[in-house]
Amino acid sequence: MPFESLATEDTLTSIMIRFCVNITVLFILIRMIYYRFSKKPEYLFSFFLMGIVIFFICSILETVDIQLGMALGLFAIFAILRFRTVNYTVKDMTYVFTVIGVSVVNSQANIAPPVLASVTINGIFIAGALFLEVFLSKRLMVSQTIIYNKTEFLKPDFRKELLKELSEFTGQNVEKVRIIKADVAKCTCELEVFYREKD
């Protein structure tokens, strides 16, 4: 039996072939791209297990021909939960959605020719994530809110001194600062500082 025919059938062998493709793509996206640029090992377990579970849920439900209802229900569940117990950043939530999307596509997609289609679609996922991480992340600045007590440095004349002081305080090269609120009586203020993360 040709490999391409075997990969598109609803059999255990076909599911395992798709699973191997899916776990390989997830490894590249999560371990080699996400972890390299984010350095958050605590999310690796969740991302991998989420991708595995969603892949098998979609693969099993595909055999009973309720793909549309399954897809809508799956995304509705995640929309309701929204990971309320974890303080995810926007970037982390984007990777959550990417893991879900990759797993659903690899379990459901049946485009001819299957091998070329799988390589092309998954290659676009990987290339897109890598491009955004390498080229766009360098231009984006990370923000952090801090409490600062030297209100005399908030005057425009002391901008360089303020940036230098905040850089030493945060350990980052602060490039921009925004005053959120100031308490004149207590001589304290809440600042939002912006810097580019170090590699």
Q: What is the pLDDT of residues 132-166, one digit of tens each?
A: 888 776 666 777 788 888 777 778 888 888 888 88
More confidently predicted of 64 and 127:
127
* pLDDT for res 36: 87
Cβ(194)–Cβ(174) below 8 Å:
yes
- Higher pLDDT, residue 102 or 152: 102
Alpha helices in 63-113 (DSSP H): 67-81, 90-108
Query: What is the average pLDDT across 157-186?
Result: 83
Residue 160: both structure tokens together: 């360089």
Q: What is the pLDDT of residue 130?
A: 92
Structure tokens at 107: 């379990």
pLDDT of residue 1: 47
- Average of per-residue pLDDT across 74-84: 57
Residues composing the chain = 199
Q: Return the pLDDT at 193.
A: 84
Helix or strand holding residue 30 (H, E): none
3-state secondary structure of 80: helix
**Range ranked top by mean pLDDT from 77-81, 99-103, 122-126:** 122-126
CA 102 to each of CA 15, 66, 96, 106, 171: distance values in angstroms, whole numbers, following the listed order: 15, 19, 10, 6, 37
Query: How far is it, in rounded angstroms, from Cα 8 to Cα 17?
Result: 9
Q: Distance of CA 161 to CAs 154, 164, 176, Å? A: 9, 5, 12
Closest CA to 24 of 95, 117, 118: 118
Residue 154 CA to residue 161 CA, distance in Å, equals: 9
Q: What percentage of residues in the chain have a pLDDT greater than 70?
A: 78
Averaged pLDDT score across all residues of the chain: 79
Q: What is the pLDDT of residues 18-75, one digit of tens each?
A: 899 999 999 999 999 998 888 788 889 989 998 998 888 888 776 555 555 555 566 6
Q: What mean pLDDT is predicted for residues 81-92?
A: 65
In this prediction, residue 7 carries a pLDDT of: 54
